[in-house]
Amino acid sequence: MAFTAINKPSVHFDCPIWDGSNSTTTVTGMGFKPDMLWMQRYDGAGHPVINNSTGGTAKSYICSGANAVDTTVMVASYTADGFTLTGNIANTNDASQKHVAACWKANGGTTTSNSDGSITSTVQADTTSGVSIIQWTGTGANGTIGHGLGAAPKYIIAKALGTAADGRALNMGKTVSTAADPETDAAVFCDEQAFSDDATCWNDTAPTSTVFSLGSNANTNASGQECIAYCFAEVQGFSKIGFYEGNGNATRSTFVYCGFKPKWLLFKNRQATEDWAIKVSGLEGYGLGGERTRTLKQANPNNSTNCTVTFTAFGFRVTTTDGKANSENVEYSYLAFAERPMVGSNGIISLAT
């Protein structure tokens, strides 16, 4: 069996950058037509914004607070190798500001109706990369949702779009020590709170290869409201989802094996009040680049500038004592996507550094 089925991650996932403009801006040069954009200014304060081709360009999720869907047309269109942005729009295309987007391919904007669960869903899925976008009408009651991946997702971000409230995240990756039943735990997405036991989010039920479960929580399944979920199944050599335990030592640093050189990393202290943070490869000199990271709160986006995380050919090394990434005996949730796999499908070891 080959180490990975995805020799070139950039045909499924990429992180383009652009300078904001007073006019329409087209971001090109990607190896695919994207379906999900996670956009953020990286040289100063700005809210992270998520948009997808299922819901349409006039439905964006500003995920740094308790927000309902934003109907401002920020994304004018999705193109064959990128996307076009409306000019001079806050958080995505402000003039004289610098922006980055994590971009995932799903199914090129083509959706299917899925009746695998008790609640019918609309699904876009890329089964090769383990990424799907799911939309449904909330019921306010326990139910199951088909996700279309053919493998159990290990990371889910869900939001009732009409509710002025935070979304929720689930991480079913392998735990180090503390979470015997992660399917009961819900993280308030982008909020500083620790993960907590909340049966109303996921109905105390782990995802399967066909469905994930929802409870009565209005943040994720409000009755009569349009709801959205982003599901990620782990794919060897392309994505890694899990937890690591901090050691509180910047010199004897914590190393997390991924099986690839990361391009993009999301992480969160699971047990304490700390910011969510992102690191993106290749943006040296800014809050997202070099060995520095950036939080997801608009009010303090550079709050993790000393929270050093270094990408290697095989994973990432946490070289800090900052509580956002490396407190002793504390567990951290993470979601990582590859720049290049450690070993290709032909068995040849990558020369990544």
Residues 308-345 have pLDDT tens digits of 888 999 999 998 898 989 999 999 999 999 998 876 65
Long-range contacts of 116-120 (CB under 8 A, 24+ apart): 116/144, 116/146, 116/147, 116/148, 116/210, 116/211, 117/143, 117/144, 117/145, 117/146, 117/210, 117/211, 118/143, 118/144, 119/143, 119/144, 119/145, 119/214, 120/146
Q: Quick one: what percent of the chain has pLDDT higher than 70?
A: 89
Check whether 41 has a pLDDT greater than 70.
yes
Report the candidate in 98, 99, 51 with the shortest Cα–Cα distance to residue 77.
Answer: 51
Statement: residue 353 has pLDDT above 50: no
Q: What is the pTM assigned to this prediction?
A: 0.94
Nearest to 225 by CA among 142, 138, 147, 293: 138
pLDDT band, residue 96 (cuts 50/70/90): confident
Average pLDDT, the chain: 89
216 has a pLDDT exceeding 90: yes
Task: Identify whether the C-beta of residue 168 lies closer than 8 Å to the C-beta of residue 195.
Answer: no
Which of 103-107, 116-120, 299-303 is the least confident region? Answer: 299-303
Handedness of CA 216, 220, 221, 222 (dihedral sign): positive
Confidence of residue 295 (pLDDT cuts 50, 70, 90): confident
Domain boundaries, the chain: 9-104, 112-232, 239-341
Question: Residue written as tokens 């493998």?
Answer: 151
| pLDDT tens figures, 182-195 | 778 889 998 889 99
Question: 47-77, pLDDT tens digit by residue?
Answer: 899 999 999 888 999 888 888 999 999 999 9
Q: Give the pLDDT confidence score for residue 124 in this predicted structure.
A: 98
Q: How does 179-216 read in b/e, with b if 16+ C-beta sit within 10 Å?
A: beebbbbbbbbbbbebbeebbbbbbbbbbeebbbbbbb
pLDDT for res 1: 42
Please choose, from the candidates 184, 179, 144, the residue with its C-alpha nearest in 3D space to the C-alpha of residue 168: 184
Name the CA radius of gyration of the chain, rounded: 19
Question: In the predicted model, is pLDDT for residue 159 greater than 80?
Answer: yes
Region 282-304: mean pLDDT is 61
Section 90-99 average pLDDT: 90
Q: What angle do CA 16, 54, 149 make, to 5 degrees?
A: 85
Q: How confident is the model at residue 63, as a pLDDT? A: 86
